[in-house]
Amino acid sequence: MLTDETLSTFAGVYSLIMTPFHEDGSIDWKVYEQYLDYQISHRPHNLFPVCGSSEMKDLTLEERLHSATLTVRHAPREMRVIATANLEEGRQAQKEEVRRMEQTGVDALVFTSRGIGDRPEELFETLCELASCTTLPVMLYEFPGYPGQKIIDSDTYARLIQTGRFIGIKDTTCQMDLITEKIQKAPQSDVLQANIPYLYDAMKAGAKGVIATISVIMTKTLRKFWELYTSGAPQEQLEELNANIVNSAAVIDSCFPAGPKYLFGARIGIPMTPVTRSRQILSPERARAYEIWYDWAVRHEIL
């Protein structure tokens, strides 16, 4: 069974890691390492490469493995690295993927629920079968926006936690009642909030941390919010920062991930192109909106 110490290790603020591409769509590994160091400098508790924000569905297995390996090499000892490990087609291929991802040196694996049956029992049995292929703890992730997504209901979630193999979930239901149900039925687990409009509400309900798209560029701000919340800062101060975070998310997510990528080249000084493998188009006016938001956030010390 997982200890309270292990569970607390995977709580807190996560930095999601984007994948920078050259103009031809190949990965720019040099910029990837520069970006990793930038994210680490903003003091997240943990790192999450091979995630939705890294465009993992458009990466090959070898690219995903190398992304995880590089992240492990750069991460300080106290910073945990988790990575998704069941994206290959077919159960046997996923089992091999699980074994290979463990060999990269990550601290925990992430299993998505996409494409795993239509019944809760089938979902439970399949995830447990995959978990038997690794010695590492496992985080759950519903991976929204990807074909075959399956919401993990609170009862199945609690059963998975009770096995002692699963530590928590990146909750993407975007519904406070469903978030609260998971927290109440498995209070010892790490329910990590992904939906920014419910960030403050979820933390007050007992969420153990945040894994959200805006962390690709706002890790420092999320860490500040976490420190204020856990230290018992005045409600007015928390509500003000929460409002700025929610408003910022509306811009960051408006053309994601091309927009945040664009800012690293246009404002931050890391030569990342806005290229995505989904061929997302960042219009000039949307790029200008990102610039205006970034300059405002810097002036107001939000970034």
Given a cut of 80, whether residue 43 has pLDDT beyond it is yes
Read off the pLDDT band of 54 (50, 70, 90). Answer: very high
Does the reported pTM lie above 0.75?
yes
The 10s digit of each residue's pLDDT in 98-136 is 999 999 999 999 999 887 766 889 999 999 999 999 999
Among 112, 121, 107, 60, residue whose Cα is nearest residue 85? 112
Given a cut of 80, whether residue 57 has pLDDT beyond it is yes
- Tell me what the mean pLDDT of segment 250-266 comes to: 98
Q: How far apart are the first and last CA of the chain?
A: 39
- Tell me what the mean pLDDT of segment 164-192 comes to: 94
Task: Decide yes or no: CATH 1.10.3720.10 for domain 4-233.
Answer: no
From residue 164, alpha-carbon distances to 10, 128, 139, 140, 157 in Å are 15, 10, 12, 13, 12
For a pLDDT cut of 70, what percent of the chain falls above it? Answer: 95
- Tell me what the mean pLDDT of segment 155-166 comes to: 96
- Tell me what the mean pLDDT of segment 53-76 comes to: 97
Given a cut of 60, whether residue 1 has pLDDT beyond it is no
Give the model's pLDDT for residue 134: 98
Per-residue HEC secondary structure of 67-117 comes to HHHHHHHHCCCCCEEEEECCCCCCHHHHHHHHHHHHCCCCCEEEEECCCCC
Select the more confidently predicted residue: 150 or 222: 222
From residue 206, alpha-carbon distances to 2, 60, 166, 170 in Å are 19, 36, 18, 14
Given a cut of 70, whether residue 208 has pLDDT beyond it is yes
Give the model's pLDDT for residue 8: 74
Q: Cβ distance 172 to 141 under 8 Å?
A: yes
Domain range list for the chain: 4-233
Q: Cβ distance 259 to 224 under 8 Å?
A: no
Among 236, 258, 282, 269, residue whose Cα is nearest residue 55? 258
- Tell me what the mean pLDDT of segment 136-146 comes to: 87
